[in-house]
A and B are shown apart, each in its own frame.
Chain A
Amino acid sequence: MNVIVVNGKEYEIRPEHESLTLLQFLREELHLTGTKNGCAEGTCGACTVLVDQKAVRSCRFKLAKAAGAEVLTVEGLIREDGSLHPVQQAFIDAGAVQCGFCTPGMIMSALDLLYKNPEPDRESIRKALRGNLCRCTGYQSIVDAVELASKRMMTAHITHQYGQ
């Protein structure tokens, strides 16, 4: 039996689901609608989730390929005590949220970056978010947010505790 772990919970991948994309599975089967579908061709990044701690475009990622993997979506970031992940909090504080449709994907791409590079400069942040389109913010406040999150996370010495 194929299984997939999403936000710490294990789910069975039934044979009839194997042809689905990871995005379809998340939204339609698990009703995790935080992950968005902007283009379905892998160019806008709204569907970005982490698979084994790496950012992937879930709209082009076959569910079968995710068998056995651990998937993290935006819904999995909030802590058990209800507190927000520092990246989420930074997006709020820096004014990085406007329409919010790109936000979940942006947050997941930012997490992917901060795993690899806990103290990125603005140019590195912009490069890391190149695959995520936003039409509202002009990206500047999003770069501010990732910078702020990095600063706070470094200060709190919790850089090894992303996500779960």
Chain B
Amino acid sequence: MENIAEEVLKGNRFALSKAITAIENEYDNATEIMQKLYPHTGHAYVLGVTGPPGAGKSTLTDKLAKEYRKRGKTVGIIAIDPTSPFSGGAILGDRIRMNELTLDPGVFIRSMGTRGSLGGLSHKTADAVKAMDAFGVDVIFVETVGVGQSEVDIVKAADTTMVVLIPGMGDDIQAIKAGILEIGDIFTINKADHDGADKLATELNMMLDLDGETKDWRPPILKAIANQNIGIKEVVDTFHKHHDHIEGNGQLTVRRTERAKNEMLDLLDARIGAYVRHNIVDNGKLDEYVQDIKARKTDPYTVVNSVLQDMLK
């Protein structure tokens, strides 16, 4: 397809799909596409959805998207699943819970694999979000498994982040609380009809209270039963409330500024990483350096200095 960016801006869905592919696969035209799309971004509201596997994030996202549609908003969804470290393949299984949205022209769903750590997933996700934003959707969900730092980072790119938990996770909550407590603007206990929902709410409340700092936004703890469509409106209302809150106190601007900064740094990191892979790793130079280092003919510090000098030429 020629002129992918122009087609995206015209509302061509397949062009949006192609743009995300270019970003994801690091095609040569990705940068050019993003350069053209960037001026048209900044309108969509970005919602992060994270939580442990099995919490029902996809089902919840499906229902929330439907609620937004009822309220006249268009929706983009980026659903991220882990890539197998053994094969490099992935089962992208979130879409299956969103089949009813497939034929809604006001919804666009894209699944992505984490593809290991080298690829710079967080900046790819950020760019996919921007492509959807430029395409013109009102609300973008980024859904990811909340384990592992890189995936937590992805969610940090959101304006509002919801952590989804379910009762009966036992000690898991202890294990993940450190990571999730700080990123959650909203906590939703899904499958709230199951035993232990109240206990989980109490535990969460205690942890949030212990968190110490006096914040002007105390993350609310909501209850939902996504597969019965219970508690969905309340979650969307709370998204709105949080949005109004951070818009009112200037936090939204602060967050987005912070995000722009982080994204630029990420992009720079990714580019440097890519440079290093192209010019050092893939062509076998790395092995030569390592041989020399091992033989004490040189040292890693000197090599790095020389690589950096080459790069900056």
Q: Do A and B come from one complex?
A: no
Chain B positions within 8 Å of A, measured between CB atoms, are none
